[in-house]
Amino acid sequence: MIVATGGVPNFGPASGSELCLSVWDVLASPLQAKADVLIYDATGRHPAPSAAAQLAAAGHAVTFVARDPSLAPEMEHHSSITYRKAMAERDVQVILEHELVSVALIGDRREVVLRHLLTGRETRSTHDQVVVEHGTVPVTDLFDELRPRSVNDGVTDISTLIGSAPLRQPPAAGFELHRIGDAISSRSVHAAMLDALRLGVQF
């Protein structure tokens, strides 16, 4: 049995995260976005720059903050260039090598504290809204319920995923339990697809 229950947005360790929206929120319901939006990206993958480009195209003032020294480093080269071009065309302010420290409510705006990862220097700014992309936290309820009933205790033997198919015989009785994608940890959809393929060709 393969569990692909995915995950839910992770807002990371910054204080005041309850004042933030996730990238999921603004991509699913763009009308939630306000005029001046800060987007914080701690993954270097598609969601945050996608949201930044979409909101900027809709006329929002967007500040894009990332932990990485370059924009979208986890993506293939042509996607990174596409996002960089879109942000440059739409006057998105890009701030690199910073982490989100805290978000506080000041009137009806959010005061954001950022810390430079190399110097430790902190800066403050205020925005109508803060959107955070910090990956996901696995949804484990189903896996936890099934795990004690499985013959492998939910543990995937990585060595059995390498080689030509079929790699081994299914268990004589009961069922094996495996997780893929964000049900394990925050990952890209491509990683989930590879997990599914490697497990699916075993038997």
Please say whether the beta carbons of 110 and 130 come within 8 A: yes
pTM greater than 0.75 = yes
| pLDDT per position as a tens digit, 16-29 | 999 999 999 998 88
Residue ranges of domains in the chain: 9-136, 138-200
Q: What CATH class does 9-136 carry?
A: alpha beta
| pLDDT per position as a tens digit, 30-39 | 778 899 999 9
| pLDDT per position as a tens digit, 91-104 | 999 999 999 999 99
The number of residues in the chain equals 203
Position with higher pLDDT, 171 vs 127: 127
Beta-strand relationship, 61-66 and 93-95: parallel
Strands (E), the chain: 2-3, 7-9, 21-22, 36-41, 61-66, 93-95, 98-106, 109-116, 122-127, 129-133, 136-138, 178-179
